[in-house]
Amino acid sequence: MRILICGDVDARTGRESVAKYLPELKKKFALDFIVINVDNAAGGFGITADIAKEFFNMGADILTGGNHVFDQNGVIPFLEAEPRMLRPYNLVASTPGHGFSETKTAKGQKVVVIHLLGQRFMPIIGNDPFESCSQLLSRYILGKNVDAIIVDFHAEFTSEKNALGHFLDGKVSAVVGTHTHIPTSDERILEHGTAFQTDLGMCGDYDSVIGAKKEDIVEKFTKIHTKVRIQSATGESTFCALMVETDNKTGLATSVRAFKLGGCIETPFIS
């Protein structure tokens, strides 16, 4: 199975990069399943129902959020009604929405996507992501009753992301980090067969400070006595994603490939 997982989409320019590159990749690599993190897709803060529908129309199977998933007014009814739009699983049980999904591909393969939130330097405090994920995984055995399991870990600390990757190694197909908007160059397959990347990066304008206009953030750091209205950067975006190929029998990863397409940090596309 070929799975593409896209990093945090930031504002309009990020959405435009997904619209530009996703159809090309889907066709070129015959992708079976697509996951997109949309935590910053609506003006840099959260997601709306209309924007989510745009991603589904582009071919996304599952959308994941993060600490901004509840930011937009009126989004809660959408989160409750749409099982393909995930909020972090390890929040309190009364939290609206869905924290994981079971989906079948066009070929009938079952894919489980689990969305977790880190607990270091996060504005939302939830339950232990390690324990929460472990309990959920007691329902699924990779290669037995599920063909692939993908974990999107929306976390600040690289160490927390690394630790979860090793904790789940051999139990899931892929663990990817999101949230920091900086793509790490450590994509690999761990010892027991799980694909891993500390952070996918963002689909957004990198001539910025993690998606915001650089002038706004520089002023925020240098003139702390003034109030700055943070605006999203509007230049050309780089599309960042990880493609994972899995074994059809075991569900474990057989290859990984990171993409950085367009914008100022583009890595040339090699067929």
Per-residue pLDDT of the chain (271 residues; tens, 9 = 90+): 999 999 999 999 999 999 999 999 999 999 999 999 999 999 999 999 999 999 999 999 999 999 999 999 999 999 999 999 999 999 998 999 999 999 999 999 999 999 999 998 888 888 999 999 999 999 999 999 999 999 999 999 999 999 999 999 999 999 999 999 999 999 999 999 999 999 999 999 999 999 999 999 999 899 877 788 889 999 999 999 999 999 999 999 999 999 999 999 999 776 6
> Is residue 227 a contact partner of residue 213, using CB atoms and an 8 Å limit?
no
Q: What angle do CA 163, 180, 269 make, to 5 degrees?
A: 100
CATH number of the domain at 2-261, out of 1.10.150.20, 1.20.58.220, 3.60.21.10, 3.40.50.20?
3.60.21.10
Would you state the pLDDT for residue 270?
A: 64
Q: How far apart are CA 91 and CA 130, in angstroms?
A: 13
In sequence order, the β-bridge partners of residue 204 are 238
Helices 49-58 + 11-29 axis angle, to 10: 20
pTM of the model: 0.96
pLDDT at residue 18 in the model: 98
Burial 54-87 (b: 16+ CB within 10 A, else e): ebbeebbbbbbbbbbbbbbeebeebbeebeebbb
- Annotation says 68 is catalytic: yes
User: Measured in Å, how far apart are the chain's first and last C-alpha atoms?
Assistant: 19
Q: Return the closest-CA partner of residue 6 out of 42, 50, 45, 60.
A: 60
**Cα atoms found within 13 Å of the Cα of residue 72, Cβ hemisphere only:** 25
